[in-house]
Structure 1
Amino acid sequence: MMRLFSPAMVQLRQALRALVAGPQALAFLPALVLAAFWIGGEGWLVAVALGLPAVMALNGGLPLNIGTTPDKRQALGLEETLDQNLLQCDRRKQRCGLYLLSIDSFHQLNTHHGLSAAERIEAWVGDRLSQTLRPGDRLLPQGDGRFAIVLAPVAKLDLESAIQLARRLQTAVEEPVALDGATLYLSCCIGFVLDRQLTMPYGPPMIEAAQAALDEAMHNAPAAIRAYAPGMTSRTHRHADQVNELIEALENGAIHPWFQPQISTDTGALSGMEALARWKQGTHTVPPSDFLPLMEENGLMERLGDVMLTRSLMALASWDEAGLTVPCVGVNFSTAELRNPKLVDKVVWTLDRFNLQPERLAVEILESVVASSPDDVVVQNVARLSNLGCAIDLDDFGTGNASITALRRFDVNRIKIDRSFVTNLDRDPSQQRMVAAILSMAEQLDLDSLAEGVETPGEHSMLAQLGCRHVQGFGLARPMPAAKAQEWLRNYERQDKPMPSLTPKIDRQIGRNTG
């Protein structure tokens, strides 16, 4: 394939970078401007003043590490490494590629476990990826749970072998990782591009193409792989359009609650429904991981909270009218909402609007909010909602380092054990010990308990044996829109309630057998 971006241009970029990237640039720039004025007067001064920024722009801007002497391999950034490899490919008729990898739900790991834990996870993933790559391949951490991988030039690199490498990288990331006594099961999305796929194979276009492929993979998360294809556009180009689409979706009802049942492990009866935000675009449902961060960045969380509260209580009232028994509905409240001094008044007004008692609403707040919030308004709002009669659920418990004092301070009624503790619970003794300790603490503090992310009968059974009072997850029912939830509720009330089979065995020192 003919290359429109010549090797000479790559060499020119590298020469310019060497000229303006070192400490000598700071010494010569003032002298150059002064010499221009003395030799040619104001005309030359203007030309140099305008020309230097153009040269620096072509070079990629002034470096941020002037005056440092990093390791030679680390000194080269992503763009420079690509340009160097592509130049070698052109000279030797070789091939190379670029991979971008993003740890799934890394934002939640950061929020729930803290920055230090997230950095340890990044370092661990980096080590695993390094062990999977060849000596000549370059791994460049990009921050925020992302990594760039520049493949060393090779004689042959086709799409099939590139996909096989992506799968090996995913397998490396999926190895269980121990974190503060718990076992985490990670996954990642990967987007990649091969140099032969582009008519202009040099740094910036390859980075943009790989980013577009990664965005496409993340749109189909978790654990998706996408190769670049013509027509893909990066998230940067779509950001403004998506924000406008979000605002429109909030106004026209395209973003609305879906409901996931919560079941008692003692009786099998329905104990509540949790409202989860979903964005419906035609026949496609946009994952929350795609639009919730965008809403946070653009100050739309309070508007989303209004929609979720109103539509959730509307659904609860409609189930009452249909003669169905739903004790309560759980609605997540963001930090932005909890900081609103008028929050309680809004909740009271909405409950009155649908003629519902406060105990029919469970207020769900993240453990990270309880653990880190010094905001008196947040504390006062939660206390007032509790005094009103609303139940206070502590979501994702075990990930935010909330103290026992904080549990009392926020008047928590129930802890919701994070799914990271539930995965493989029936087969992992360390997970069993951790969950048993959490449930023992809850019992001593007279707190109710619910486990999230229950996907198998074995996990359900083990939670019942350990004494967890309620469960929810895909293994019981997936989230569904209000109309479908009403149909599910009617069918569930007609059925014999499914009690968990108590076949998994546990050491009685780990937990108590409730069977």
Structure 2
Amino acid sequence: MAERIVTGLKQPLEFAGTSLKPSASAGIALYHGGNGTVGDLIVNADLALYLAKAEGRGSYQLFATTLRDKFEEKANLERELREAITSQAFAVHYQPQVSLQGGKVIGVEALVRWEMAGRNVSPGEFLPVAEKAGLMPALGRIVFAKAIRTAAEWHRAGIDFGRLSLNVSAQELREADFACHLLDLLKQEGLPTRLVALEIVETVMLDDENTGIGLTLKRLRKAGIRLELDDFGTGYASLAHISANEVDRLKIDRRFVRDIDKNPANTKIVKAIIELARGLGISIVAEGAETDVELFWLHDLGCPAVQGYGIAFPMPSSQAEAWLATHSLAPHRTEAIHVA
């Protein structure tokens, strides 16, 4: 019955010379007896409807008890996340980026970490919850403050870290005072704008026309902050945005780097992105390199820089500082890989 209703509502409607294409999603909960109330039944149906919408709309879903468990789990995580933001209970780890030509450190990416009740919560678990709950601006400012303070300390100590890369979401960029806040923070901590880059995903580039994001990014680039396009090749950015006037660096997504020596398609994609960036005068870095073989192939394809477990894991500030100090005294092993 649900399938007939959903299919029937998808039929085009002609109105005033225009074809309208409606659709509907349905959530279904069945009463099996027991102590449940009508209110409980409606809540269960609503949870099933939520799932139907989340999985692409225009479909139906049946309620299951596991669905309520997942909903309660997310609600609890959101509550814990709000409390963690209030107490600023987040750490920042740093993952180095190095040149494949000589092993020189060209940057470090700041990555948020959260430990809750003795458990390390994966960013892939809590960041989507933060984004859905509208908490990214508050979370982002905590990460920015801690990362910029650390980088400023390294800068004053003469530790070469290249450039600090900060991930920023569309929610944060829509904040009216985002640019002012970031520039004031850099001035307050004494970190030059030339040592900072913002990483955005491709969908942010498509979102700038109606939200003022484009103006914010232009203002920050004019102030000297670099702009990097993260996870390149996995989104929908128009090539009109991929120019030296809009972006300073492209980051090749890890899924194209993984098993590059075994996957001819990945090899062609990475080579095409490298040639595109070189032709447009944009720098490039490959993410997710984990093995010597992947590092060798990236070097052989002409990729200038890399970031990944094959170079270094994300580290707390103290470990990152020691790694940077040690690394500046000796060439990186990628040179040996190339020679071999």
Give the letter for the 2:103 counterpart.
G
Higher relative contact order (CA 8 A, sep 6+): 2
2:188 and 2:55 map into 1 onto residues whose CA distance is 43
1:304 Cα shift?
A: 1.2
Does residue 402 in structure 1 map to residue 313 in structure 2? Answer: no
1:296 aligned residue (116, 126, 131): 131
2:248 and 2:39 map into 1 onto residues whose CA distance is 60
| Cα contact 1:416–1:451 (8 A) shared by 2 | yes
1:308-457 equivalences under 5 Å are 308-375=143-210, 377-408=212-243, 411-457=246-292
1:56 and 1:258 map into 2 onto residues whose CA distance is 48
Alignment partner, residue 121 of structure 2? 286
Query: Relative to structure 1, is the Cα distance of residues 378 and 143 closer, same or farther in structure 2, using a 3 angstrom cutoff?
Result: closer
Give the letter for the 2:174 counterpart.
R
Alignment partner, residue 257 of structure 1? 92
Query: Relative to structure 1, is the Cα distance of residues 376 and 240 closer, same or farther in structure 2, using a 3 angstrom cutoff?
Result: closer
Alignment partner, residue 55 of structure 2? 144
| Cα contact 2:97–2:105 (8 A) shared by 1 | yes
Query: Relative to structure 1, is the Cα distance of residues 322 and 431 closer, same or farther in structure 2, using a 3 angstrom cutoff?
Result: same
Alignment partner, residue 338 of structure 2? 502
Does residue 463 in structure 1 map to residue 298 in structure 2? Answer: yes
TM-score of the pair, normalised by structure 2: 0.79
1:363 and 1:271 map into 2 onto residues whose CA distance is 15
Could you report, residue by residue, the CA deviation over 1:321-361 in whole angstroms, capped at 9, with x for unpaired residues? 44311121000111011112322111110111111111111
Gaps of 5+ in 2: 6-34, 57-61
1:436 Cα shift?
A: 0.7
Does residue 244 in structure 1 map to residue 79 in structure 2? Answer: yes
2:134 and 2:55 map into 1 onto residues whose CA distance is 21
- Note the aligned Cα RMSD (angstroms): 3.1
Q: Matched residue of 2:246: which SS?
A: coil
2:36 and 2:87 map into 1 onto residues whose CA distance is 49
2:292 and 2:206 map into 1 onto residues whose CA distance is 32
Give the letter for the 1:249 counterpart.
A
Give the letter for the 1:324 counterpart.
I
Q: Using the aligned pairs only, state the percent identity.
A: 31
1:354 and 1:412 map into 2 onto residues whose CA distance is 26
| Cα contact 2:244–2:281 (8 A) shared by 1 | no
1:307 aligned residue (137, 142, 158): 142
Alignment partner, residue 223 of structure 1? none
Q: Matched residue of 1:317: which SS?
A: helix
Q: Matched residue of 2:241: which SS?
A: helix
Could you report, residue by residue, the CA deviation over 1:434-493 in whole angstroms, capped at 9, with x for unpaired residues? 111111110110000000111111111111111111100111111111122112222222
1:60 and 1:347 map into 2 onto residues whose CA distance is 48
1:55 and 1:422 map into 2 onto residues whose CA distance is 52
Q: Matched residue of 1:296: which SS?
A: helix
| Cα contact 1:368–1:399 (8 A) shared by 2 | no
1:276 Cα shift?
A: 0.9
Alignment partner, residue 23 of structure 2? none
The size of the alignment, in residue pairs, is 298
1:400 and 1:371 map into 2 onto residues whose CA distance is 10
Alignment partner, residue 14 of structure 1? none
1:58 and 1:480 map into 2 onto residues whose CA distance is 49
1:59 and 1:273 map into 2 onto residues whose CA distance is 50
Query: Relative to structure 1, is the Cα distance of residues 491 and 398 closer, same or farther in structure 2, using a 3 angstrom cutoff?
Result: same
1:371 and 1:421 map into 2 onto residues whose CA distance is 23
2:117 and 2:339 map into 1 onto residues whose CA distance is 43
Does residue 277 in structure 1 map to residue 112 in structure 2? Answer: yes
Comparing 401-410 and 457-466, the one that deviates more: 401-410
List structure 1 segments (4+ residues) > 3 angstroms apart after TM superposition: 54-61, 141-145, 238-241
Gaps of 5+ in 1: 1-17, 24-53, 65-77, 79-140, 146-202, 213-233, 505-515
1:5-16 equivalences under 5 Å are none
1:142 and 1:342 map into 2 onto residues whose CA distance is 33
2:54 and 2:119 map into 1 onto residues whose CA distance is 30
Query: Relative to structure 1, is the Cα distance of residues 280 and 371 closer, same or farther in structure 2, using a 3 angstrom cutoff?
Result: same
Give the letter for the 1:301 counterpart.
M
Give the letter for the 1:464 counterpart.
H
Q: Matched residue of 1:406: which SS?
A: coil
1:252 Cα shift?
A: 2.4
| Cα contact 1:330–1:362 (8 A) shared by 2 | yes
Could you report, residue by residue, the CA deviation over 1:346-403 in whole angstroms, capped at 9, with x for unpaired residues? 1110111111111111011111211454235100011111111011101010111222
